[in-house]
Structure 1
Amino acid sequence: MPHNNHYNQQLKPLAKALRKVSTKAEVRLWSEVLSKGKTGYTFLRQRPIGKYIADFMCKELRLVIEVDGYSHNFKTAEDAKRDEEVSALGFTTLRFSDEEVMKNLPNVQREIDAFIEGLQK
């Protein structure tokens, strides 16, 4: 199986543009938890996967992390379909709300760490 079959080259320009307009919650999660290998793994921001762009993705862990803003309160069916399609590519999706990241970052970090530890067992 080619190791990059999930990467959609056509989404690259959009992903690059999205990196420039990240939400405060995305920036905080990135800078305080996911950047520079703080988890022991490399995460990429705004990474194309299938027909979507993941907020954060770690190829090695096969993990996608989404930070959902207020608009996602009305997109549960869309998010479920997206998670299903990403799962079919072999990735797990962890979702956090903007509010969780901004108001309870230690708990978000615990959930991410617990996921990683679960894979290592």
Structure 2
Amino acid sequence: MEEITAYINQIPIKRNFVENLPYNSKLKSRARALRKAGNYSEVVFWQQVHKNKFHSIDFDRQRIIGNFIVDFYIKTLGLIVEIDGESHNDKEEYDDMREEYFKSLGLKIFKTTNLRVLHDLDNVMKELENFIIEHFSIK
């Protein structure tokens, strides 16, 4: 029997916890600094999801996975949420390698952009709902 972790629009969402994720403790202070610095679009997104505001789903901010720090992570789903800004320009090869690494660990990735979060937040949140339903609903 699959464990239900949340409901989105009355649709049960199954737990997909990925165990034993690699963790580079040397990145701990960097992750803390990124949380403190607060990229504006990430802060806007965080206001929508922290304290279980988004369908009672718990989000972590600036989570270390292996040798990388992801913007947001949902442990119960094994889902990374990335908000790409200008720092990702001209880094397609690096981003592709990073994504393949996460996928090899069994993680899913939802990506959006800074501009979309700042100017189209309602639709971004709806797309995140739909992504979670598509990948984690009990069928």
- TM-score (normalised: structure 2): 0.79
The answer for the alignment partner of 1:63 in structure 2 is 79
How big is the shift at 1:116? 1.7
Cα distance between partner residues in 1 of 2:74 and 2:131: 12
2:65 equivalent to 1:49 = yes
Q: Aligned with 1:65: secondary structure? A: strand
Tell which has more relative contact order, 1 or 2 (C-alpha 8 A, sep 6+). Answer: 2
Higher helix share: 1
What aligned pairs does 1:1-121 form with structure 2 within 5 A after superposition?
3-32=19-48, 34-39=49-54, 40-118=56-134, 119-121=136-138
Alignment gaps of 5+ in structure 1: none
Give the number of aligned pairs.
119
CA contact (8 A) 1:65 1:93 kept: yes
CA contact (8 A) 1:6 1:89 kept: no
Q: Aligned with 2:63: secondary structure? A: strand
How big is each residue's C-alpha offset from its partner over 1:22-46, in whole Å with a ceiling of 9 and x where there is no partner? 21100000102x2111222111000
How big is the shift at 1:48? 0.1
Cα distance between partner residues in 2 of 1:70 and 1:5: 28
How big is the shift at 1:5? 2.9
How big is the shift at 1:94? 1.3
The structure with more radius of gyration: 2
Cα distance between partner residues in 1 of 2:93 and 2:42: 22
CA contact (8 A) 1:57 1:65 kept: yes
